[in-house]
A and B are shown apart, each in its own frame.
Chain A
Amino acid sequence: MKEELAPHVQDINRALGNKVSEQEIERELSSYLNVYRVSLDTAKRSIVKKHGGNPATLAMGVSKTLRELMPGEQSVNLLARIVSVNEKDVTVEGGSKRILYGILGDPTTTIPFTAWEPLSVPLAKGDVVRVQNAYTKEYRGQVQVNFGSRTAVAKEAPTALPEYKPGVGQPYVGKPTPVRVVDLREGGSNVAVTARILSVERREVEVDGAPKAVFSGVLADETGKTQFSAWKDFTLKADEVLRIEGAYVKSWRGIPQISFDERATITRLKPDLLPSSERLNVSPRMWIEDLADRGGAADVTVRGILIDLREGSGLVYRCPECRRVLRKGACRLHGEVKGEPDLRVKAVLDDGSGALTAVFDRELTEALLDKTLDICIASAKEAMSTEIVRDELADLLVAQPIEARGNVTSDDYGLMMIVETAKLLKVDVQAEAREMLEGLEGSA
């Protein structure tokens, strides 16, 4: 114990400019760790602060595996492999800034990372890096690693960590955690689900330049449905009920999806253990607050009120190159182009527990308006403004209770539903009020 702590004692000592004796620091550190049982990181920062030093000058974080990371760590050291890395321009405090983001992996798990400051070494997929003084945050229920101005990143030999192969990770240690489909969260690993396969198909994909077969489809339990990908041929068939142990959870734009490979154990169960495919294949009704907790979901139904139409609703013109909606006749990427007309609605759907942006495509919008695109173009020409279509939609939709079904994804701007089907909600208000009133009087 004492020997393990020695480098940290020296680190604290250095941060304090040697003004406190090593024995004193050792005694305090041991008290924080053994009596008060705080984390090493917290202990070190507290001691430095107590003696008037600046905790930011602590050089040595605590080495951890990715699996051990908790949200809110101020200084951690990691040895990890760059699983993926990308550049992105973001607006920070009014200015534009280029940041790196991607995924770090080690034998325990994978975790997203963001580098907010330029790094001294370029990062490429497959690099093994030693990271010092990174910090962690929680974003949508998942731990994220951040590299800030104090973070040092150095490359290590590629052999310092076992090579990362998607789907061919290290065997899991310990028992899998049973999870219901509705509770699947991005980043989960070694989970166990009991579910019925609703559909499955074989696809050929390319992994690192080599063709590979993946068996993907939809599975469900009583709580919900999810996409799955099996990276090994388990001869899965539609309708069968399985227990899948040792799966991991990835997400596509916020929608958690389950994946499993040869590390997983598949047990076939009795078909009557779960409701029929037909019953499971319904789109579950969810509250937006729960969707926000999950980060998204496939094929769900939300009931709420369209409380606002967003800009860019109604008759729009799209760039023929990239399909972006033109602003003032110009595409953000391709400049002035001849736009192609389209109809869409981007509305705020609020159910009292949360809000999401609901996007209705041309077909749905035409159905809502009971007018074709051509008729809309004609009436816009006559009125010399496309606003007339938007106004008509606002008249029709704003304050309307609706039921919408579709996939819900999430990004920095919140939740978005790509609406598959929608209908105006007709509720028997009296029946529901009577039921609620009876419940109230019954409990009084």
Chain B
Amino acid sequence: MIREVAWRLFASEYNDANLEAEGTGERPPSYIVTPLGAKVNRVFVVGVITDVENVGTDGQPMWRARVSDPTGTFHVYAGQYQPEAAATLSKLKPPVFGAIVGKSRIYSPQPGTTYTSIRPETIKAVDETVRDFWILEACRSLRKRLNAMGEAQKMDPLTKEGLVKIGVKEAIADGIVQAMNHYGRVDLSRYTAMLAEGLRYLLPEYREPIAPGEPVVEAAAPAKEEPPREPDESEAKVLEIIASLDKDGKGAPWEGILENATSKGVSKDSLEESINTLLDKGLIYEPILGRMKKI
């Protein structure tokens, strides 16, 4: 029994997955295969734990944590069979950078609908440097799969052996073939944009929302293709509004944000969209219902 590797992958790729696969052996491990062919049994995630909630009962608690990375949100569930992780989660005070090692889970309440989640083995509060290193590793891992998938899409017919011949490791080649059979030809540009987004998240020249009135500094290497999910102008405005209205540290009230945004020319629809994106990116969170707080 060789220990399963802990995959570093972004929430957005993980949540795109809806294929389950079973391994071989006496107690076959189960995997989630992502559209890029990552065959995931164990994951290692570092992100911002934005909220922790007991979605079970007091007698039988089930702790749910949302963990956001630059691309989306992981859902982590710990109950009575993960006592250590559950105990750690119940004591955490979000927002906090958290490192989670856990097993991949997929849940399908009805055909056509699937939810991916993580069943944690270990949870630990960490600092920003650990999170930044994780993003870098997740980017590297994503780039490797993008390259391999790019080669795979050129192959006709696609075989595991063909991939191994061009230097793809067997375990990865296996996942790629399964992914191609299930998802077909996935649009790689979406994942290339995700990779760029992850990398830009690490770079201060892209990270700081630009305050209105300040001269706009053109980045040294302008992107040829603007990915659709870059923090845009209205997101920067909303982020600023939230920061300015958060006077007591409990977060900015929704009504105030809406009023302020409207006066700055941001429509309600665009505001809601910005808030959702900022939540997904882990730049803000909702400490209590109806209040937004900058991380």
A residues whose Cβ falls under 8 Å from a Cβ of B: 288-289, 292, 305, 307-308, 348, 350, 352-355, 394-395, 398-401, 413-414, 425, 427, 429-430, 432-434, 436-438, 440-441, 444
Q: Which residues of A contact B196 (CB under 8 A)?
A: 437, 440-441
Give 22 pairs: A residue, B residue, CB < 8 Å, sorted on A: A308-B121, A352-B5, A353-B169, A355-B4, A394-B124, A414-B2, A414-B3, A427-B133, A429-B136, A432-B136, A433-B139, A433-B203, A434-B199, A434-B203, A436-B136, A436-B140, A436-B143, A437-B196, A437-B200, A437-B221, A441-B223, A444-B192
Q: Which of B4, B139, B199 has the most CB of A within 10 A?
A: B199
Query: A355-B3, A427-B136, A440-B196 are known contacts; what are 13 more A-B pairs with Cβ within 8 Å?
Result: A289-B169, A305-B6, A350-B44, A352-B141, A354-B5, A399-B46, A399-B99, A427-B133, A429-B136, A429-B202, A430-B202, A433-B135, A437-B196
The residue from A292, A348, A436 contacting B199, defined by CB atoms under 8 A apart: A436
**How many residues of B sit at the interface, in one of the four size bands?**
35 or more
Residue of B nearest to A425 (CB): B133
Contacting residues of chain B (53-76) with chain A, CB-CB under 8 angstroms: none
Of B2, B141, B203, which is within 8 A of A292 by CB?
Answer: B2
Could you say which residues of chain B place their CB within 8 Å of the CB of A441?
196, 221, 223-224
Q: Which residues of A have CB within 8 Å of B132?
A: 429
| Chain A residue at smallest Cβ distance from B133 | A401
Q: CA separation between A440 and B203, bound complex, in Å?
A: 15
Q: Is B137 an interface residue (CB 8 A)?
A: yes
A292 to chain B: which residues have CB within 8 Å? 2
Chain B residues lying within 8 Å of A414, measured Cβ to Cβ, are: 1-3
Tell me if B7 counts as interface (CB < 8 A to partner A).
Answer: yes
A437 to B223 Cα, complex, angstroms: 9
Question: In the complex, which residues 1-56 of chain B have their Cβ closer than 8 Å to any Cβ of chain A?
Answer: 1-8, 44, 46
Query: Which residues on the A side are within 8 Å of B200 (C-beta)?
Result: 437
B130 near A399 (CB under 8 angstroms)? yes
Interface hub of A292, A414, A429 (most chain B Cβ within 10 A)? A429
Chain B residues with CB under 8 Å of A436's CB are 136, 139-140, 143, 199
Contacts of B46 in A (CB 8 A): 399
Tell me if B124 and A399 are in contact (CB < 8 A): yes
- Complex contacts, B121 vs chain A, CB 8 Å: 308
Q: Which residue of B lies closest to A433 (CB)?
A: B202
Please, how many angstroms separate the alpha-carbon atoms of A292 and B132 in the complex? 28
B225 an interface residue at 8 Å Cβ cutoff? yes
Cβ of B119 to closest chain A Cβ, rounded Å:
15
The CA of A399 and the CA of B133, in the complex, are separated in Å by 10
The distance in angstroms between the C-alpha atoms of A289 and B199, with both chains bound, is 25
Alpha-carbon distance A121/B291, docked complex (angstroms): 80
Is B195 in contact with chain A by the CB < 8 A criterion? yes
A430 to B204, CA, bound (A): 8
Set A307, A348, A437: member contacting B203, Cβ < 8 A: A437
| Residue B126, interface by CB 8 Å | yes
Closest chain A CB from B245 CB (angstroms) = 31
A361 → chain B, closest Cβ, in Å? 22
* Residue ID in chain A nearest B122 by CB atoms: A308
| Residues in B whose Cβ lies below 8 Å from that of A425 | 133
- When distances are taken between beta carbons in the complex, the residues of chain B under 8 Å from A352 are 5-8, 44, 137, 140-141
- Asked if residues A440 and B124 are in contact (CB atoms below 8 Å), the reply is no
Verify if B101 is at the interface (C-beta below 8 Å from A): yes
B221 touches A433 (CB 8 A): no
- Pick from B122, B143, B202, B224: contact of A444, CB under 8 Å: B224
| CB < 8 Å neighbour of B5 from A350, A429, A430 | A350
Q: How far is the CB of A408 from chain B (nearest CB, A)?
A: 14
Chain A, Cβ-Cβ closest to B222: A441
Q: Return chain B residues, CB-CB under 8 Å to A395.
A: 124
Most buried by B among A354, A414, A425: A354
Q: Which of B2, B195, B196, B200 has the most CB of A within 10 A?
A: B2
Distance of A122 Cα from B199 Cα, bound (Å): 64
Contact A307 B44, beta carbon cutoff 8 Å = yes
- Complex contacts, A308 vs chain B, CB 8 Å: 101, 121-122
* Chain A hits for B2, CB < 8 A: 292, 414
A30 to B6, CA, bound (A): 51
Distance A143 CA – B162 CA, assembled complex (angstroms): 23
Contact status of A398 and B139, CB under 8 A, knowing A350-B5, A441-B221: no
Q: Which residues from chain A contact B203 at a C-beta distance below 8 Å? A: 430, 433-434, 437
Alpha-carbon gap, A349 to B196, bound state (A): 28
Taken together as a complex, chains A and B put the C-alpha atoms of A44 and B169 apart, in Å, by 34
Please indicate the chain A residues that have their CB under 8 angstroms from the CB of B137 in the complex.
352
A272 and B90 CA atoms in complex are apart in Å by: 63
On whether the beta carbons of A398 and B136 are closer than 8 Å, the reply is: no
Are A399 and B199 closer than 8 Å at their CB atoms? no
Complex CA distance for A432 and B196, rounded to whole angstroms: 13
**Contact across chains for B192 and A440 when beta carbons are under 8 A apart:** yes
- Once the chains are docked, how many angstroms separate the CA of A354 from the CA of B4? 7
Contact residues, B101-138 vs A (CB, 8 A): 101, 121-122, 124, 126, 129-130, 132-133, 135-137
B8/A398 in contact, CB under 8 A: no
A348, B133: Cβ atoms under 8 Å?
A: no
Contact B122 A398 (CB under 8 A): yes
Contact between A348 and B3, CB atoms less than 8 A apart: yes
Closest 10 CB pairs of A and B: A399-B99, A433-B202, A437-B199, A355-B3, A429-B132, A433-B199, A350-B6, A307-B101, A414-B2, A399-B126
Q: Shortest beta-carbon distance, B40 to chain A, in Å? A: 12
Of the candidates B1, B99, B169, B199, the one whose C-beta lies within 8 Å of that of A398 is B99
Most chain B beta-carbon neighbours within 10 Å: one of A427, A432, A433: A433
B120 to chain A, nearest CB (A): 12
Known: A355-B6, A401-B133, A433-B199. A305 touches B140 (CB 8 A): no
Residues of B close to A350: CB separation below 8 A = 5-6, 44
Chain B residues with Cβ below 8 Å from A440 are 143, 192, 195-196, 199
Cα–Cα distance between A355 and B121 once the two chains are bound (Å): 15
